[in-house]
Amino acid sequence: MNIIKLDAIDSTNSYLKKIILNKDVSDSTIVTAKFQTKGKGQLGANWESEDSKNLIFSIYKKDLGIKVKDQFIISIIVSLALIKTLKKNNLPSLCIKWPNDIMSDNKKICGILIENILKQNYIKHSVIGIGLNVNQTIFDNLPNASSIKNLTGTTHKKDEILKELASNINRGFEEIEKFKSEMIFKKYEELLYRINKPSTFKNSKGENFTGFIKGVTTLGRLNVMLEDNKLESYDLKEISILN
């Protein structure tokens, strides 16, 4: 496993995308940094992290051969790998907040940003960025954020978590052909935050509404059961989960 360790960088995803444009990079190459000046989250949001306290890295997966229409499977593989890794650290009530935030005890501890490189109708390469709160204990103006240390009371070694997590991610991609995609989706859906519970959402117009999360489509859209048993599907730009 090739690991590039940096002290500070604008974004590990951006750095990794630049180097793969200029040279041949081996599969599963990792770029990790102690600090990011321009960490990125979903829909252009910033990912803030205290210097040297958390695990910030991007992993490169090449020659995937996954159809563009099936790209959500990448998010599923990474999310399940994170859950598997974190279970070993005795974190309480682990779940996935759609599409790919990892929650523990109703607090966000991890975010994922996946950027794919396409060739015709296939995902040729994927750069997978992960920000995992490990030893940070104070989250100013982020009341819904927490860390492994806050939730377990123990300081953890980031390098050990990185090694285990990278292994689980790679294994997930290796085993994708062994399992029917329906089984992988079912595993993901069973871990969804607020699955089958009455929940409040906000749509793209800023309007709040209630419904029940029922799962996801093969395209990764969120299935929500509304009033009168009407099932609607939403993409990331159309809906956010409030509680």
Hey, where are the domains in the chain? 3-190, 198-241
Q: Given a cut of 90, is residue 130 above it in pLDDT?
A: yes
pTM to 2 decimals?
0.93
Q: What is the pLDDT of residue 228?
A: 87
φ, ψ dihedrals at 89, nearest 5°: -100, 15
Q: Which of 33, 142, 167 is nearest to 88 (CA)?
A: 167
Q: Which fold has domain 3-190?
A: BirA Bifunctional Protein; domain 2 (3.30.930)
Q: Which two tokens stand for residue 76?
A: 């599923």
Please check whether residue 27 is in contact with residue 65, taking contact to mean a CB–CB distance below 8 angstroms.
no
φ, ψ dihedrals at 194, nearest 5°: 65, 25
Sorted by sequence, the CB contacts under 8 Å of residue 159 that are 6+ apart come out as none
pLDDT of 161-206, one tens digit each?
A: 999 999 999 999 998 877 777 889 999 999 999 999 999 999 999 9
Q: DSSP string of 164-213?
A: HHHHHHHHHHHTGGGS-HHHHHHHHHHTBTTBTSEEEEEETTS-EEEEEE
Binning pLDDT at 50, 70 and 90, where does residue 117 land? very high
The CA distance from 46 to 82, in Å, is 21
Q: What percent of the chain has pLDDT over 70?
A: 95
Q: Which two tokens stand for residue 59?
A: 């992993």
Q: What is the pLDDT of residue 46?
A: 56
Q: What is the pLDDT of residue 142?
A: 85
Q: Which fold has domain 198-241?
A: SH3 type barrels. (2.30.30)
Decide if 3-190 and 198-241 have a common fold.
no
